[in-house]
Structure 1
Amino acid sequence: MQVRNRHWLVLFLIFFGIPFFFWGGPGYHAARSFKAAWDLGHILFFGCFSWLVFQYYQTREELRCTLRLFLGIFILVLVLGIGVEFMQLGITGRHPDPYDVLRNQLGCLVAYVFFCCRKEKYLTLLRTTVLLMLLLAAWPLCRALIDELIAREQFPVLADFETPFELARWREGRQLAFDRTLARHGRKSMRVQLSTAMYSGTALFYFPHDWRGYRWLSLSVYNPEPEPVTLHCRIHDRWHNKSGQAFSDRFHDKFILRPGWNDLRISLEAVRLAPAGREMDMQYIESFGIFVIRRAKPMVLHVDYVYLSN
C-alpha cells in the first residue's frame, strides 16, 4: 500500500510540474537564487519521471533495472527534454536552454543510481559521481545565496569588489573581471571591457532594491585614456517595463570622465523625479547601468566603490 501511495504521489508531482515548463517562473530581474532554484526543478521533475518509468518495468523480470532499460529511458528523457525546449521557442518570455537538457539527464541518472539500481558492479563509484554532478548543479544556487547574504550585509554599499562573487551582480559578465592593479577603495576594482557597439557597458542587476532614505548614489570610475570620455548612466524601477521602457520613464545622465579616477555622485532626488508624469519607485529600483555610445575603438574602464549615502 505504501509503494502504491508513493507511485501516486510521484505521478501527482509530474502532472503538477508539467505546466511550469511553459508558465510561471522567475522574471528577467528576479533574484539569482530564485532563478537557480527554478533551474533545479528540471532535475526533480525528470528524476520523478524516470523513477516512475523504472518502477513500471519492475514487473518485467527481463528488463528489471538492466543497462538496456536505463539507456532506453535515458534516450526517452533526452528526446522529451529537447522537445520541451523547442516548444518554448513559441512562448513569450521563454527561451531554450541547453543546460536544462543536461539537468534533465542528471535527473534520470539520479533516479537510476540512487533508487532503481541495486546490483551494478560499480554502484558506489556511480553514486559518488552522480552526487558530485548534483553538487556541481547546485553550485549556482549556493553561490547566489552566499552573495545575496553578503549584499544585504554590505548595504548601503552596492559593490566594492572585495568579495568573490560580486561580478555576478552585474550584467554582461564576459566583459567584466576583477583587477588588483587599480583600486579606489580596498584592494580590487571591476575592469569593464567596452566595445565599438552602439551601446557598450554593464548594469547592476542584483542588489537590495529599496533605496528610500538615501540622498546620493556614488561610484568611482577610472579612465585610462589620455582624453576625456563621456559616460552615460541610467536607472529605472520595476514599473519601467509598463511604459515600454520609454526614455522619458527613466533616469538618464552623463558624466565627462577625465583621465584617471573620477568620483561621481548622482542625486537620488533627481532619480525620484526623473520619470515623466510619475515618481520613480525608490522602494524597488530595478537596474543601474553605465555605458558609452559608439566608441571609435575598444577601451577599458575600471569601476569601484558603488554605494548609497546621505
Structure 2
Amino acid sequence: MSPGATPGMPSAGRRLQLLAGVTSLLIVPFLFFGGPDWSSGPVYKSAWNLGHILLFALLTLTVRPWQWLQGWRLWLAVTSVLLAAGIVIELLQYGHDREMDVQDLLRNLIGSWLIIAWRPLFFSGNRKTAGSVLMAAFTTLLLLSELATTAQVAARQFQMNRQLPALYDFQREEPSPFWSGPLTSSQAHAPEGSKSLRINLGTETYSGVSLHNFPSDWRGFATLSLTLFNPDSQPLSVTLRINDVEHDRGDNAYSDRFNFRLDLEPGVNTFEIPLATIEQAPDQRPMDMSEIRRLGLFATRLPEPRSVYLLALALD
C-alpha cells in the first residue's frame, strides 16, 4: 500500500478523485477567461477571488500528492510547486487583460493546504497528532480570514448604496477604499458636524483625485451637486470628469465622457449639474446612468502646488 493510502475506501476515494478532477477541468478556463476586469466592482472581484481556494482544493484532491510524500516534505513540495505555478498563472493572466494579484498566490496555497491539513483528521487510517490538528486549525483560520474579507467588502458596499443621495460619506476617516490620488480626510472648512476632503494638487500635467467606489446607479435623480472650498486668494480652475463602465472598458476617448471646467473663486463654491447634460456628454452614445464608474477632479499644469477642499458631493 502506498504512503497515505486510505484502507477500506478505494471506490469512494476514486469517485471523489474523479469528481474533483472533472470539476477542476471545468473551472480552470476561468483563470484566464471571463470574470472581473480592472473596472469591475469590489464585491464581484472579492467573491470571484475565492474561486482560487476552491480550484486548488479540487486539484489537490485530484493529484493526491500524499501518495508520494508525507510530513514536512509534502508541505514543502506542494507549497513550492504552487508558488511557481501561481506566478506563471499570474503572468499569463496579465497577458489576457486581467489584473495581477499577488494575494491569489496565498489563496492557491490555502485551497491546497486545507485538503492536506484536514485529510488526516477525516480518515481513520491516518494517525492524528497535535501537529495535524494545529495545521488544520491554522488553515481554517486562513480560510475564515478570506471569507471575512469578502463579507466585509459586501457589507461596506451595501452600506455605501444606502447612503444615497450622498455619493460619499465624509464622516469616514480613511478615504482610500473609495478614492485614489493625493487626498486626506480633514476638519478644515467643513460644515458643522461633518468633515471635508483635502485634495492636494501638484504641478504635473494632470494632478487630481478619482472617486472609483460609489453608488453607480444615478437613474431617478436630476442633478449632481458638489461644493468645494478654495482656501487661497487666487481663483483656481479644475476639471470634473465623469464616465461610465463602457468608457472604462473602451479606448478612454476624451469625447466619450463628461468633462466640465469648474472655476473656483476664493471661498465656498457650489455647482449643480443636470444629469441630463452628463448623460448626453459622449459624442456617439448616451452615457449609461445605471453604471457610472468614475468621477474625477483634476487640475492641469499648475504653476505651483495648490489645495482645495471637497465639502459635499450628492445627487438631487
TM-score by length of 1: 0.85
Match of residue 99 from structure 1: 103
Percentage of matched positions with identical amino acids: 33
Cα distance in structure 2, aligned partners of 1:297 and 1:47? 55
Deviations 1:36-64 (A, max 9, x none): 111222222222223433x3534x6xx3x
Q: Offset of 1:242 from its aligned partner? A: 7.2
Give the greater-gyration-radius structure (CA). 2
1:224 partner letter: P
Return the match for 2:309 from 290, 302, 306.
Answer: 302
1:216 aligns with 2:223: yes
Deviations 1:189-211 (A, max 9, x none): 23333333321222222333222
Q: Which runs of 4+ in 1 moved over 6 A?
A: none
Residues 126 and 266 (structure 1), Cα distance of their counterparts in 2 relative to 1, 3 Å cut: same
Contact persistence 2:120–2:128 (CA under 8 A): no
SS in 2 for 1:145: helix
1:201 aligns with 2:208: yes
Cα distance in structure 1, aligned partners of 2:308 and 2:149? 28
2:60 partner letter: S
Residues 195 and 20 (structure 1), Cα distance of their counterparts in 2 relative to 1, 3 Å cut: farther
CA RMSD, 1 decimal: 2.6
Deviations 1:271-292 (A, max 9, x none): 1222224333323323221111
Match of residue 168 from structure 1: 177
Return the match for 1:244 from 234, 238, 251.
Answer: 251
SS in 1 for 2:35: coil
Deviations 1:258-301 (A, max 9, x none): 33332222221221222224333323323221111122344433
Matches within 5 A, 1:87-166: 87-91=92-96, 93-116=97-120, 119-163=128-172
1:234 aligns with 2:241: yes
1:50 aligns with 2:60: yes
Residues paired across the two proteins, number: 301
Deviations 1:76-103 (A, max 9, x none): 1111111112223432x12332222222
Residues 102 and 196 (structure 1), Cα distance of their counterparts in 2 relative to 1, 3 Å cut: farther
Contact persistence 2:175–2:185 (CA under 8 A): no
1:80 aligns with 2:74: no
2:153 partner letter: A
Q: Offset of 1:236 from its aligned partner? A: 1.9
Q: Which runs of 5+ in 2 are unaligned?
A: 1-10, 122-126
Q: Which has the higher helix share?
A: 1
TM-score by length of 2: 0.83
Residues 297 and 36 (structure 1), Cα distance of their counterparts in 2 relative to 1, 3 Å cut: farther
Return the match for 1:279 from 283, 286, 309.
Answer: 286
SS in 2 for 1:157: coil
Residues 304 and 107 (structure 1), Cα distance of their counterparts in 2 relative to 1, 3 Å cut: farther
Cα distance in structure 2, aligned partners of 1:192 and 1:306? 14
Cα distance in structure 2, aligned partners of 1:125 and 1:57? 18
Residues 74 and 292 (structure 1), Cα distance of their counterparts in 2 relative to 1, 3 Å cut: same
Cα distance in structure 1, aligned partners of 2:218 and 2:277? 13
